[in-house]
Amino acid sequence: MSGYESEPDDGLRALEATLFASEEPLTIAQLKQILGDVPTLTTMLGRLTEEYAGRGINLVERGGRWHFQTAPDMAHLLRRDRQEQRKLSRAGMETLAIIAYHEPVSRAEIEAIRGVQVAKGTLDVLMEAGWVRPAGRREVPGRPLIYATTPEFLTHFGLSSRKDLPGIDDLRAAGLLDPIDLAMEGLMEKDDAESPLENEEEDA
């Protein structure tokens, strides 16, 4: 039996209750607003993470925000009766992937990588889902709006940060790249070697 279980800690219990009651993941700053300036907050989060590591729910950190979620091996029990409300078209998934791997990017840059125009409403759907957000404007002629992913994107896909995004080799090994995706891969690699931002600055 752990020390936490044998000697309940009121501060730890308050943190646990706060995370359970919250309808959305919380940052360290938000937790401090609720619990006060707790010097050992990071340590407490670590203790709770360990306590819940082998249970049906786990405490996880996604993009700097903390929340409880169903353990990965138990998720199928909830999916049985749950309807997926955020089904994206292929164009939507491609657009989301480009933003995630290349952010921040403008609509024109997304279209350059995909090779086709972004359909009206595609970015709106991604923003309504809470996965994409406007991230300012590119400081080039025309000052195009640029887009980036959100903490909700990381939470939904179970990522701690964008560094956890699968690489091209991982996608290929999983059989998730078809001929169209491979062509897109080549465009992405070309885009990495020759940044759109650099081109626009040269044109300016």
Average pLDDT over residues 180-184: 48
pLDDT over 90 (residue 20): no
pLDDT at 81: 45
Q: Does domain 93-193 have CATH number 3.30.420.40?
A: no
* Numbered ranges of CATH 1.10.10.10 in the chain: 11-72, 93-193
Predicted TM-score of the model (pTM): 0.50
More reliable by pLDDT, 121 or 202: 121
**Are 44 and 50 within 8 A, CB to CB?**
no
pLDDT at 9: 78
The owner of tokens 């308050």 is: 14
pLDDT at 169: 62
pLDDT over 90 (residue 147): yes
What share of the chain has pLDDT > 90, as a percent?
6
Q: Where are the beta strands (DSSP E) in the chain?
A: 26-27, 57-62, 65-70, 105-106, 132-137, 145-149
Average pLDDT over residues 98-115: 88
CATH topology of domain 11-72: Arc Repressor Mutant, subunit A (1.10.10)
**Are 146 and 57 within 8 A, CB to CB?**
no
> What confidence tier does 204 reach under pLDDT thresholds 50, 70, 90?
very low
